[in-house]
Amino acid sequence: MPRKPVSDRAGAEFTDARAAVWAAIRKRKQFTIEDLELDTRENNRTISTYVQSLKNGGILEMVGHDTRGMNSQGVTKRKHMNRPGIFRLVKNVGSEAPRLQRDGTVVTQGSGTRNMWRVMKVLPSFDYRELANEASVDDVVVKLSAAKDYIHYLHKAGYLQLVRASKPGTAAQYRMIRSRFTGPKPPQIQRVKHVFDPNVGKVVWPQECAQ
């Protein structure tokens, strides 16, 4: 089976790391970076970067410094002299890990695809125009070409059923096959035109790549 492009693998790995860190944050409520390292086994830099973005986005706040490992004079016994910060979850936004830039602003890249994936599950049937319209919310605008392309590949991958074929002046109608809704993460159309489903962690189309 051909390997996924490096950029796709790296993106999936970061998404999985972020999800693991967010789950640990929601469970602990108050924590240090080292606590999250113990819980997730992710590397310090990945955790620190994500925690900083959550802090800048107002989802976490820093409430003090960890005094564990210090003697009665307040001198640290740790190899490094900086006392770890203690963070607290102040805005629990749900089970899905927030997607934020380092400065705390929301990442919009990929939002259209996520919206389309969610909308497909809700609508009884749709064509590409209806899908683009329903998936365009707030600052996210889904282009008609993007909706058409996403439908095309998800149909090939077996996620969608053709309800009505296209004819002059009327676009084809599709619906989601309920048993193929594999989870909250949208299947991705890779640059090599393979469909990768992050919910199951593998390429699901073409078939020769999925085996």
Q: What was the pLDDT predicted at 15?
A: 67
pLDDT digits (tens, 9 = 90+) for 77-101: 554 456 889 999 999 999 888 989 8
Q: What was the pLDDT predicted at 13?
A: 57
In order along its 211 residues, the chain shows pLDDT tens digits of 333 443 344 455 556 789 999 999 999 999 999 999 999 999 999 999 999 999 999 999 999 988 766 555 545 555 445 688 999 999 999 988 898 989 998 876 789 999 999 999 999 999 999 999 999 987 889 999 999 999 999 999 999 999 999 999 999 999 999 999 999 999 999 989 999 999 999 999 997 666 6
| Full set of structural domains in the chain with CATH | 6-89 (1.10.10.10), 111-210 (1.10.10.10)
Answer for the pair 205, 157: CB distance below 8 angstroms, yes or no.
yes
* Residue-by-residue DSSP string for 81-97: SSPPEEEEE-----SSP
What is the Cα gyration radius of the chain?
A: 22
Q: What was the pLDDT predicted at 101?
A: 87
Q: What was the pLDDT predicted at 4?
A: 40
Spatial separation of the C-alpha atoms in residues 39 and 64, rounded to whole Å: 21
Q: What was the pLDDT predicted at 2?
A: 38
Q: What length is written for the chain?
A: 211
**Mean pLDDT rounded to a whole number for the chain:** 87
Exposure class string for 19-54: b at 16+ Cβ within 10 A, else e: bbbbebbeeeeebbbebbbebbebeeebbeebbbbb
Q: What was the pLDDT predicted at 107?
A: 79
